[in-house]
Amino acid sequence: MKIIKISLLIIVALHFPKSLCLAQTLNWASLRQEQRHIVNVNAGYDYAFTYGVGYGYHLKMKLPIVLNVEYSQPAGDKAFDDFKTKIGGQIQLYQVNDFRFTAKILGIARRYENDYTRLFNFGSDMSAIAGYYRDKWFVAGEFGFDKAIVTNFKHTDLFRENFPDVKDGWYEPSTGGNFYYGLQAGVSFTNNDIFLKAGKVVQQDFETNPTIPFYVQIGYNRRF
Amino acid sequence: MKPTKSVLAAFFSGMLMFACEPELSIHESGNLVAKTADQDSSVPSIYVNGAQLHAEAFGDPDDPMIVVLHGGPGEDYRDLLNCKEFANDGYRVVFYDQRGAGLSERFPHSTYTMQVLYDDLTAVISYYKASPTQPVFLLGHSWGAMLATAYINQYPSVINGAILGEPGGFKWDDVEDYLSRSRDFRLFSEGLNDAVYMEQFITAKENDHALLDYKFQLWATADGGEDSPTGNEGKLPYWRSGAVTSNAYMEWGDEHRPDWTTNLQQYTTKVLFIYSENNEAYGLAHAQKVSSAYPNVQLFETLNAGHDMLSFPRGWNNTYPVMLEYLNALK
């Protein structure tokens, strides 16, 4: 079972760059064929107050596809103790006039550390986006699922003072999952996009909420 | 070998080693959180009121009894073990983890009511009481002080005295008022990250006890951190934080908005009410407001200590003589 999971992770990791696309919020209507690169900075609330950077590569294909890598970390005194990286992409599956439908699949590697523990997780983020895209602006709705597939737990001496028998290692089954849904909108000018997205987060049982059950992100894209 | 192939070889080798590690169950008690008294017979416990409660008692069984009520809801009595010192000064000291908390047996979310806590406390007192005339004192900290007051309000004639350490409030509005200040983390602080960033790693259903307890413990680590206004000297020791019971009683409070002061005017025995110098969220004004529900109060400020003044050396050493003097005057 473990080997199957790991194989899947490897396959996902190796094939994302070849076949899929973006995590950045894009105005598909303003993305020109000749524009290959998209750099992004963003900030917002994503399970904590975070800031991040991203890069997207626009493939030369018939279907609009953008490959993407992202890094983000929460604000706080300790750099790099908590972070999230994503690799994957986004593809425009369907277009009717100015209405576009896209899918996004991302592999996630993320880390969390406090005085008691260090968690390292491999996960996935899949979402569907439908919206109205014009050259100068766009608005869309999104629905997605963020799955924490497999997590490694390593505890500190402080934790072991309280519970010496705690077991470190890889835990199964999946340690978590959150659905999210919301709206995204933006304006575009020359080679730039400014976007805002916000929505609600609910745990996979559709009943329990995180402490702060919302996400919001403001970002800037530069296309060239 | 080309660099790319070397990287891939190292990657696959690492993954192979990773794949050979045995996996652990996220839901199994004993992996991430301690087993409870009903799961581990080596945990000292008593069976009362239909629950296996983690409990211990120290001192001469015939001495006046002090029942220690821990905070939370959902925490345990490990951080109050300093109170064992009363056993050396002529008291029978009884500790127990409230149901669903610490190493006591867990129950479904829907079963937690205030009445069941009253009945548990009555049963614990009965279990340890050596004679009908043995005085019984309650020593409650934080939520434990709220529970002590709720119990006295319910049964004003059965308790011979009470020591109350920084209860959030005896009316739910006061509780909310205090919580809004004590959990006032800076938006961009490490403390807030520590509390909430892990929610993308771990999710659990309402009665998924072990996982919720573990998550709750990580959440609680923010308390006692540098960003916390509660002024503690460090992290509290614990056995297990009971997330389900904690959530149940906080939700119960939000829904019922209790007022545990309605009968307190009948309780004319002096109450020792303790607050701390370093808890920025509490202070004299809140202590006066909350304690005024009792007709006879001795207010005491513990210097050089935070909210958990009974758990750390400075606070304990500064408070113990006052508590002992109070109890000796009443026994």
CATH number, domain containing residue B223: 3.40.50.1820
| Contact residues on chain B for A84, CB-CB shorter than 8 A | 200
List, as ranges, residues 46-65 from A with C-beta within 8 Å of B.
47-49
Would you kindly state where each structural domain of chain A is located, as residue ranges?
A: 2-223
Bridge-based pairing of strands A49-58 and A37-45 is antiparallel
- Count of structural domains, chain B: 1
Q: What stretches in chain A show pLDDT beneath 50?
A: 1-23
Q: What is the pLDDT of residue B331?
A: 87
Q: What is the pLDDT of residue A180?
A: 96
**Rounded to an integer, what is the distance from CA A37 to the centroid of its chain?**
19
CA A109 to chain centre: 10
A169 — contact with chain B (CB < 8 Å)?
yes
Q: Would residue B280 count as lying in a domain?
A: yes
Residue A110 in contact with residue A123, Cβ under 8 Å? Answer: yes
Listed residue (A66, A12, A75) closest to A39, CA to CA: A66
Chain A residues with CB inside 8 Å of B40's CB? Answer: none
B248, part of any domain: yes
- Contact between A2 and B19 using a beta-carbon 8 Å cutoff: yes
B111 within some domain = yes
Question: Residue B99's closest CA among B127, B61, B70?
Answer: B70
In a domain, B149, yes or no: yes
Which candidate from B15, B205, B218 shows the least CB-CB separation from A117? B218
Between CA B155 and CA B170 the distance in angstroms is 15
d(CA A119, CA B316): 35
The whole-number pLDDT of residue B243 equals: 92
ipTM of model: 0.85
Is B202's CB within 8 Å of A148's CB? yes
Q: Which of B18, B31, B188 shows the shortest C-beta gap to A76?
A: B188
**Domain containing B293: what range?**
45-330
Residue B40 belongs to a domain: no
B34 touches chain A (CB under 8 A): yes
Q: Which fold has domain A2-223?
A: Lipocalin (2.40.128)
Q: Would you state the pLDDT for residue B8?
A: 47
pLDDT the model gives residue B159: 97
Structural domain includes residue B213: yes
Predicted local confidence at residue B194, as pLDDT: 81
Q: In whole angstroms, how far apart are CA B79 and each of B16, B200, B240, B304?
A: 43, 30, 11, 18
Whether residue B79 lies inside any domain: the answer is yes
Asked if residue B25 has pLDDT above 90, the reply is no
pLDDT above 80 (res B225): no
Instruction: Determine which of B200, B217, B218 to mutate to test the interface with A (most A C-beta atoms within 10 Å).
Output: B200
pLDDT value of position B7 = 45
Is 60 exceeded by the pLDDT of residue B1?
A: no
Q: What is the pLDDT of residue B207?
A: 77
Q: Name A224's Cβ contacts closer than 8 Å, sequence gap at least 6.
A: A35, A36, A37, A191
Asked if residue B179 belongs to a domain, the reply is: yes
A107 to A123, B8, B149, B246, B314: CA distances (angstroms): 6, 18, 52, 35, 49
Q: Which tens digits make up the pLDDT trace of B239-284?
A: 999 999 999 999 999 999 999 999 999 999 999 999 999 999 999 9
Paired strand residues for A151 = A121, A171
Are the C-beta atoms of residues A28 and A92 closer than 8 Å to each other? Answer: yes
